Amino acid sequence: MGGSTWKLRRKSSTIRSYALLALLLLLFVPGCKTTGSSGIFGGIDSGESASSDDAQHKDEERVSRSFYMLFWDQGDHLKKLFLEGGIRRSAKLYIEQREYFADPKNREKSRAILDRLAERLNDLSAPGMAEAIERLEGTAWPAPPSQWNAIRESIAEARNARDAYPREGLLTEPEYRSPLTGELDKAISELQRRIGEGAAKEFTAFDHFGEEVFIDLYPAPLQSAAFLDANYPSIEPYLKDADTGKLKRFSANLTADRLGEARWRKLGDLYVAASLKESGQDDNPGLTNVLKAIAAAKEAGFEPKNVPGLKIGFVETTSQTLLKQKQIEFPAQIKVDLPAEIAKSDIDQALTNPTAETSDYLIVFDVALAKAKRRVTKTKNNPSTILVGYDTKPNSDYNMAQNELNIAQMNVQSANMNKASINGRYCEGLGCIGNMLSQVAAGIKSSEAQEGLDAAMEKLRNTPMTIEVPRFERYQYQVATVKGSKTMTVHYYVIDHKKNTYFKSTFDVVEKKNFEAGYNIADRDPDKDKNLSAVDSEDTVAEWEAQASTVKLSQLIGHYLERVEGAKPLPDVVALRMEMLEDKNTALAAYGENRFDARPLNDSRFDSVVVVYVSAKRGLGTGFFVMPDVVLTNWHVVKETQFVEMKTYDG
């Protein structure tokens, strides 16, 4: 007995000694966790090779061991990896254990291995950087554009060689950094400086009508917008002398988004000028050739705004009388698809405003009539339903909720009886443990049954005994086919100041559109929104009738060119104004003949009364004849105006 006790005590003492030793090791030996470790006393880390580990290196794996000891630390591990040829793993261990090697004592201890490791690491990067430096320093500049791609690639490869140099770890420290990095930075910067300083000169000398784009080809990066702002004027003389073929190639290289709106518009004007020059019409271009040149420019993707040597003016006049009479029911929208100077004016200034006086061709545009009509050609009835009331009916969900409540009550009774039965059982010994578990299970079932009963009672309380059922009846709404038409009659005058002739004509602009208009769709129709979306509303028809009718300026000039033989010698301004006024009076008379008027036209007291229309800004006034060709009105109505409109009582 005594011997056994001694052995037990000796064994306990040994265990305590080992435990104390382990505690001391943990207190005095720094450790770091890693994945794939072989333990405290492991010889080679998991994944290491006895000869070289470079081929097996994976960035996501740690090199450090789980624990290091006093007699085998991080410096020993670094030396072991280096001597085995694991250069990259050695470098990674240095990064992972940067705090250890930052300690001056530890660093001095590992100085020899760190020096050799830095030398080997620099040897890995040296060939690429040295080759890049030699290539950059041997690059001649200026160089022809055929060599720009190769120069740009050399600079890119030099940057790649520079970026490949380690950005963390041992080689980031000044004492170990390779001097080649500074030499490479200097070589890149120097070549880019020389290329950048020559950009403006090279841009001017570059063939912009070829297949290449200067900004994309140039070896140095350029800020496109700022560079063009500063240097585009240097190539404008070449653009002015270019033919249409060269301008097309230029615009394919430098597109509108690069040139900007102003330069692109000017390029379009140059294209028109080049087109006229190629047709021999650049000295005195006629409208026909101008239209052809503009069409060609548009086909090439330009939007010219000016024609060299030719100015087209466009003046729109609007009669106050027609506006007041609602004879113009919708406006005219002029689509200016030609280079022209646009102005709006009263008729008394239409021929004397700055646009009119400086234009080679002046177009005066006058809407004589703008009428909208609609005609219902047929109607049809569409069936649908309408909500007329509600019926009260028993709610079947209430009966279901009542049944669920009855079942829940029965479940509660059954669970409580089962629980009482189990609680009343007799048990002894180990059997009581089983009985206890049964009691717990029975209690849980009883609670669940009670929760089910509470939920069933809540559901019954929230379920109404009756429900309101909607009652629908069938009805019909109407869909009418509406044929809308808009007719606009336009007088226009083309004044050719070069030939001192004028031409006048009239044309109609007709638009037609059919609508399916819905009527009498009930507000209580459950499908009201669906039915409304399937038809047009009266507002839709009215909006279409009020929309402006579009007239292209090119169509108007085309209409003129087809009839230009009817041009007449240009009279003086007064005579031309009178002719325009007579055309307006003709339109008014035609309108008046088709208009019902209930006024007492046989009242002679109104025969001498007129309404005087001046301008949109000054409005109107009244006057009366004092002589067959003299009307008396107030000075504040006309003031200095030399031309007015007057309407007699009979229209």
Q: How many residues does the chain have?
A: 651
Structure tokens at 192: 């880019």
d(CA 256, CA 264): 6
Nearest Cα to 115, choosing from 157, 82, 66?
A: 82
Provide the Cα torsion 408, 410, 413, 416; round to 10°: -60
User: What is the per-residue pLDDT across 77-125, written as a single tens digit (0 to 9) for each?
Assistant: 999 999 988 899 999 999 999 999 999 999 999 999 999 999 999 999 8
Percent of the chain with pLDDT over 90: 33
d(CA 643, CA 651): 19
Which single residue is written with the structure tokens 């829940």? 408
d(CA 26, CA 67): 9
d(CA 246, CA 237): 13
User: What is the per-residue pLDDT across 547-587, written as a single tens digit (0 to 9) for each?
Assistant: 888 888 888 888 888 888 888 898 888 888 888 878 777 76
With H, G, I as helix, E, B as strand and everything else as coil, classify residue 450: helix
pLDDT band at 321; cut points 50, 70, 90: low
Q: Where are the alpha helices (DSSP H) in 29-61?
A: none
pLDDT of 351 above 90 = no
Neighbouring CB atoms inside 10 A of 450's CB total: 15
Looking at every residue in the chain, the average pLDDT score rounds to 81
DSSP code at position 548: P
pLDDT of 637 above 90 = no
Structure tokens at 528: 């009201």
pLDDT band at 438; cut points 50, 70, 90: confident
Nearest Cα to 277, choosing from 236, 309, 250, 251?
A: 309
Neighbouring CB atoms inside 10 A of 122's CB total: 20
User: What is the per-residue pLDDT across 15-55, written as a single tens digit (0 to 9) for each?
Assistant: 344 343 344 444 444 443 333 333 322 333 433 433 344 44
Helix (H) or strand (E) holding 356: helix 354-358
User: What is the per-residue pLDDT across 484-501, written as a single tens digit (0 to 9) for each?
Assistant: 999 988 888 988 888 888
With H, G, I as helix, E, B as strand and everything else as coil, classify residue 85: coil
Structure tokens at 15: 């265990």
CB 29 within 8 A of CB 100: no
DSSP code at position 425: -
Task: Write down the pTM of the prediction.
Answer: 0.56
CB 354 within 8 A of CB 313: no
pLDDT of 334 above 90 = no
Q: 567: Cβ–Cβ under 8 A, 6 or more apart, which residues?
A: 494, 496, 499, 501, 502, 503
Which single residue is written with the structure tokens 């009076």? 585
Neighbouring CB atoms inside 10 A of 624's CB total: 12
Sheet of strand 361-394, all strands in order from the earlier edge strand to the far edge: 341-344, 312-317, 361-394, 466-496, 501-519, 568-569
pLDDT of 602 above 70 = no
Nearest Cα to 154, choosing from 135, 131, 129?
A: 135
Q: Looking at 418-427, 449-458, 509-518, which range is the least confident one?
A: 418-427
* pLDDT in the model for residue 320: 63
* 472 φ/ψ angles, rounded to the nearest 5 degrees: -115, 150
* 482 φ/ψ angles, rounded to the nearest 5 degrees: -110, 125
DSSP secondary structure, 201-264, as one string: HHHHHS-TTSSS-HHHHSSS---HHHHHHHHGGGGHHHHHT--HHHHHHHHHHS-HHHH-HHHH
Cα dist. 258→26, 229, 251, 439 in Å?
Answer: 69, 11, 10, 85
Sheet of strand 609-613, all strands in order from the earlier edge strand to the far edge: 630-633, 620-627, 609-613, 645-648
* pLDDT in the model for residue 425: 80
Q: Strands 361-394, 312-317: parallel, antiparallel or unpaired by DSSP?
A: parallel
Q: 522: Cβ–Cβ under 8 A, 6 or more apart, which residues?
A: 384, 386, 475, 477, 528
pLDDT: is 379 or 164 the higher one? 164
Q: 238: Cβ–Cβ under 8 A, 6 or more apart, which residues?
A: 208
Which single residue is written with the structure tokens 């006049």? 317
d(CA 193, CA 525): 78
Q: 204: Cβ–Cβ under 8 A, 6 or more apart, which residues?
A: 231, 234, 235
d(CA 162, CA 154): 12
Structure tokens at 114: 């760190």
Nearest Cα to 81, choosing from 29, 41, 116?
A: 116
Looking at this protein, which amino acid is placed at residue 231?
N
Cα dist. 348→274, 368, 639 in Å?
Answer: 39, 17, 13
pLDDT of 8 above 50 = no
